[in-house]
C-alpha cells in the first residue's frame, strides 16, 4: 500500500513488516552484494516480477 509518492524519483514509499530472521538474511545479502537494504529489496522485487512475467525488461 503506497503511503506517499516521491515526485523526484517517481518512487512510492510504503511500510513493510518483516520478521527479524528474514530481515537479517536480507541485510546480509545486501551487504554481500554491496547494496543498501532498500536497493536489495527493490532488486528482489524486480527480479520476481520479471521471472513471473509481471514486468517486462
- Could you report the per-residue pLDDT of 1-53, keeping only the tens digit for each? 555 555 567 889 999 999 999 999 999 999 999 999 999 999 999 999 999 99
Owner of C-alpha cell 552484494: 33
**Could you give the dihedral angle defined by the CA atoms of residues 22, 30, 3 and 53, in that order, rounded to the nearest 10 degrees?**
-90
What pLDDT score does 55 carry? 87
pLDDT value at position 5?
58
The answer to whether residues 21 and 36 touch, using CB atoms and an 8 Å cutoff, is no
Q: What local confidence, expressed as pLDDT, does residue 4 receive?
A: 59
The phi, psi pair for 56, rounded to 5°, reads: -85, 160
Nearest to 41 by CA among 21, 25, 19: 25
Amino acid at each position: 500500500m503506497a503511503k506517499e509518492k516521491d515526485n523526484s524519483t517517481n518512487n512510492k514509499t510504503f511500510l513493510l513488516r518483516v520478521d527479524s530472521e528474514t530481515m537479517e538474511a536480507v541485510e546480509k545479502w545486501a551487504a554481500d552484494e554491496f547494496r543498501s537494504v532498500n536497493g536489495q529489496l527493490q532488486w528482489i522485487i524486480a527480479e520476481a516480477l520479471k521471472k513471473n512475467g509481471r514486468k517486462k525488461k
